[in-house]
Structure 1
Amino acid sequence: MLWAAWADAVGFISELTDESGLRHRTHGNELDGTLDWRRRIGGKYGVHADLPAGTYSDDTQLRLATARCISSSGFDVEAFARIELPVWPAYALGGGRASRAAATSMTKANATWYANFYDGWTTAGGNGAAMRIQPHVWADGFHDTYISAVIRDATVTHGHPRALLGAVLHAIALSYSLRESTTPTPRTWIDLLAAARRAVRFFRQDTDLWTIWVPAWEHHEQRSFDDAWNQAADECDALLDIAGRFVAHTPPTSDTYQTLVDQMGLRDPKTLGSGTGTVIAALALAAAFPTDPRAATLLAAHTLGTDTDTIATMAAALIAAAHPQPLPSPVQDEVYLRATAARLAAVALGEHVRPFAHPDILRWKPPTSQLDTVGLADGTPAISGLGWIDHTRQVYPSRDSVWSWVHSSFGASFLIKHRNELRELPTGNWPIPQTELSDAASRPVAAQPVPLDLFPVSTVIPDADSDEDVRHTGVTDDLDEIRSLRRDARDDDTLGRLVREAALRGNRDELALLIGAIWSHYSAP
């Protein structure tokens, strides 16, 4: 976790700028590690803020948000989607359009994680999901049950198979590094991709995704989700061939990496943040520098015009997972990062780890404005749903608001936007002391983990026609039939038969699922 945050902090400095802009940000200093720098935050009408050495971006912010939703009980996708994600934009340092749109969508009163259908959700294929899923692997140890959590996490914000497959591929590669104590090489990439390709079966094992999310996706796109997933995997296959040629060039150089990113389209505005392209670029760097996360980070960070921080953070995570080593320079919140890593390691070891004390979701009211994320909880400044805060460093005024560096009661620090005069938060949004987790607090709503038998990699996930694949029986067969109906073939007799058979053969919950699937198939955007 430390190296991933450090690499993110280094790559953040050179993100979205050119040579002149980089010199301005670094005050002419060489970018050879973390350093103090300055940049505009908050968009076109934002403020210029001083960022201390080691300041990390949205990549690490969302990884930590994900980590707070993991405990011995699994991944609390409700807490992530309904509390962590809507709060994040107020302190976001970066963030793609899809992640921000998903966060805004989750502030709606009827929003659900498995039906977060904002405008453009099916075409959201960036790396915003892949960059945050590492905690699921760190919390898994060698149990190989993380894929379901990764898919749930990713589908909250992204809908294109390119984003989802990229998240799964990065997770499998990271698990390989941890398990084998070596970074994946081009010889193992084909097996990692084969495992990611077969991971589409996990959608069938998740009732919410299989009955609501997938039918809505297919209705919107008018094609098979399985086919789209395989198409994304085919694209990865071609990208891995390009990456393999880069690794074969010994030693790797800036010029050969420049060729790689150009051939993969990682400077093209249409594809520079691709959910698969950035993952494979990170795989290439990790294979080229299998024991040197610093070298991989600096090459990524100096390749301007690419998604420098995300490629760097993924590559460093893959390398350092196999070859842990001290950091070469400071990183923001190192104590909190270490504590979070230890907490996830305890989960992996099977120790009892209590959930982060998020508020009760039944009483939670998502902030409808970024400015109202910070307010007063019984007269004390706090971040909605997370913790109390103390102002620690500079304050940057911006029209009717202000950006402040704050330190939270649970250990993380933020540069966060808020009103000049703080308002009282709804009582349901007040933080909960981490030692006083209420029984009424949100609890994980997760599919039963399924062991992957990840190693050897070739046996990660059974083939689609394997006897070990998901067996559909009873009402689930009806759900499959609904999914197979064509858009304009609204056969009332068929739908009536399915509902009648579900009522006769299933229970109340199964009948509700069937009705939900019919509604989603014909009413989703």
Structure 2
Amino acid sequence: MADRPHRLIDNAIGAILGAACGDALGWPNERVGRSSFRDRQSQASLQEFTRWTRRSGGRYYPHEEVIEAGNYSDDTQLILCLARSLLRGNQWWDYFCRIELPFWSLYERGGGGATKRSVDAWTDGVPPWSRERTTKDVKRYFDAGGNGVAMRVLPHVIFDANVENFACVAKNILLDGIATHGHPRALVGALAYGYALWGAIRRTGSLKFGEVVEDLLDNSIKWASLPEVGSAYYEWLKAANLRVSTYEKLWKATVDEMTSLLETCRKELSKGAMSIDDDALRALHCFDKKISGAGTVATASAVFLASRYAPDPIHGLTKAAYAIGADTDTIASMTGGLLGTFSGSEWLSSLKNTVQDSKYLAEIATALVKKNMAPKSAEIPVNGIRARLSRFMDMLLEKKPGDLVDMPDGRYGQILSGNEIIGKSGKFKVVFRKVACDDGQTLYFSKIKKGAFLTEAGREPRKSRNGATQLQRSLSFGPKLPVRSLEKAVRFYTEVLGLRIRKKTQEV
């Protein structure tokens, strides 16, 4: 048992990196058809990150953004938000709801609608179930049963890996969950996934085939109960029962649904080599657009793939990431997180070094195990959050590459690059900033600005072959940073900030 602390750290790092790698592998496939997948598949190995173009802005502000190979999405961002919050000790929930989540809304990449609506409430200074919200908003909150909670619970399990009673972990998972989602599908799914993670990371021996599923089914009482977690919970439950007169009954029905999905996992695993992954995932409703994003479905899918591919984890990760038609980034992230809890990090091979912010991900996993708490308490804002964030964004967009910025969550960073994209109509532009934080995380900010943005000749901006406008290319700052000492600058950016220098010149 002497090596248990070291093993726990390795498994925690493997879990966080596994989740991030799954996220980065699966994100490009989230909204592609099978024909697009075949084109992409022929161009790169399934076990390599790819550079891709993301379409954003909806109907009114359509634009494209290049996503660099290995970049992660909201799944990993929210894992990190929660991890930093837990290192705040007893302040963790308030810190998460009133500092991390509102600030996340400025740099989120692919965040779910339910999470963003709840964050909007916290930014106004009230919970999403508050009577101060509209009836429609509160109803949508309690109807939100997506996987946005399950995908971020990993830090709870790492932080409390040595706690002997899962009930303590369950309370924190529920409290975390109600911050953004109100339907039992989101919360039960998160509790079941949390229990699977907790059991796996505490193991001292090898994992037997199908053991995760059996453990969940045999110990359902440990994850299926509705925990009681203090004053915020009672206020929430009162609001829940106003919207759904028999919330406990709905909870039980969802537990039955989760159990049924786990029994399907058991049935498919019992087929051994005869089981076909796509058929199994289809039986778990992974490809059913009406329910594929549910917390219960995501948990069952991740548990199935992690159980099936425990002896060969990298293939389990790629199966999830390329399950075209499913919520690939989240399922791959959850599968990768679960695989990492009992496989460590070596199985990730080169992926673990090329995923975005790999060093920071490993450091925060270690901090959770060692409980390296924040040195001082934070001042938790209640009012004025939206105005504060608005001022920050205005300031940020005035900054240029090389400038330092103080951020709303107490960190500081340096702008690495910035550019602008003008919409085809010329009636809006999107301003981008890439920021390296002092702790090692990279944040990508963007803001849409409305106006009349025409070229100097009065014409609508022309697009180049890669979709960039003429003005975009002329305004693209890029990561060109003039310095007095090239040698000292290289040492600062590589050794202190952990960044890669792609090009350096001796121009004066």
Scaled to the shorter chain, the TM-score interval is: 0.7 to 0.9
The equivalent position to 1:301 in structure 2, one of 316, 321, 332, is 321
**Alignment check: 8 A CA contact 2:147 2:295 kept:** yes
Q: Does 1:196 find its partner at 2:223?
A: yes
Structure-2 separation of matches of 1:51 and 1:356: 36
Structure-1 separation of matches of 2:382 and 2:266: 52
Match in the other structure for 2:171: 148
**Alignment check: 8 A CA contact 1:389 1:409 kept:** yes
**Alignment check: 8 A CA contact 2:281 2:287 kept:** yes
| TM-score normalised over the length of structure 2 | 0.74
1:57-206 matched pairs, under 5 angstroms: 57-71=73-87, 73-74=89-90, 76-109=92-125, 111-112=126-127, 115=130, 118-119=137-138, 120-143=140-163, 144=165, 145-181=168-204, 182-183=206-207, 184-198=211-225, 200=226, 202-203=227-228, 205-206=229-230
Structure-2 separation of matches of 1:192 and 1:16: 36
Structure-2 separation of matches of 1:245 and 1:394: 52
Match in the other structure for 1:404: 433
List per-residue Cα deviations over 1:160-202 (Å, max 9, x = no partner): 011111111111110100111455433222134331112x1x2
Match in the other structure for 1:376: 395
Structure-1 separation of matches of 2:327 and 2:233: 30
Structure-1 separation of matches of 2:160 and 2:87: 11
Structure-2 separation of matches of 1:266 and 1:370: 37
Query: 1:402 and 1:316, CA in 2 relative to 1: closer, same or farther beyond 3 A?
Result: same
Q: How many residues are aligned here?
A: 408
Query: 1:283 and 1:206, CA in 2 relative to 1: closer, same or farther beyond 3 A?
Result: same
Shift of 1:301: 1.6
Match in the other structure for 2:360: 336
**Alignment check: 8 A CA contact 1:77 1:113 kept:** no
Unpaired runs of at least 5, structure 1: 422-525
Could you say what secondary structure the match of 2:295 adopts?
A: coil
RMSD: 2.8
List per-residue Cα deviations over 1:3-26 (Å, max 9, x = no partner): 111111111121121134446667
Shift of 1:369: 9.9
Structure-1 separation of matches of 2:333 and 2:120: 26
Could you say what secondary structure the match of 1:106 adopts?
A: helix
1:230-379 matched pairs, under 5 angstroms: 230-251=252-273, 256-326=276-346, 327-328=348-349, 329=351, 330-347=354-371, 353-354=373-374, 358=378, 360-362=379-381, 365-367=384-386, 373-376=392-395
Q: Does 1:16 find its partner at 2:45?
A: no
Unpaired runs of at least 5, structure 2: 1-15, 423-427, 451-508
Q: Which stretch shifts more, 259-268 or 269-278? A: 259-268
- 2:222 partner letter: A
**Alignment check: 8 A CA contact 2:118 2:127 kept:** no
List per-residue Cα deviations over 1:362-411 (Å, max 9, x = no partner): 47632369865534389853443343332324634253441222212232
**Alignment check: 8 A CA contact 2:170 2:223 kept:** no
Query: 1:249 and 1:281, CA in 2 relative to 1: closer, same or farther beyond 3 A?
Result: same
Match in the other structure for 1:416: 445
List per-residue Cα deviations over 1:4-50 (Å, max 9, x = no partner): 11111111121121134446667933432323222224445343222
Shift of 1:114: 7.0
Could you say what secondary structure the match of 1:251 adopts?
A: helix
List per-residue Cα deviations over 1:313-337 (Å, max 9, x = no partner): 1111112111113222211001111
Query: 1:338 and 1:113, CA in 2 relative to 1: closer, same or farther beyond 3 A?
Result: farther
Shift of 1:271: 0.3
Structure-2 separation of matches of 1:356 and 1:8: 32
Could you say what secondary structure the match of 2:123 adopts?
A: coil
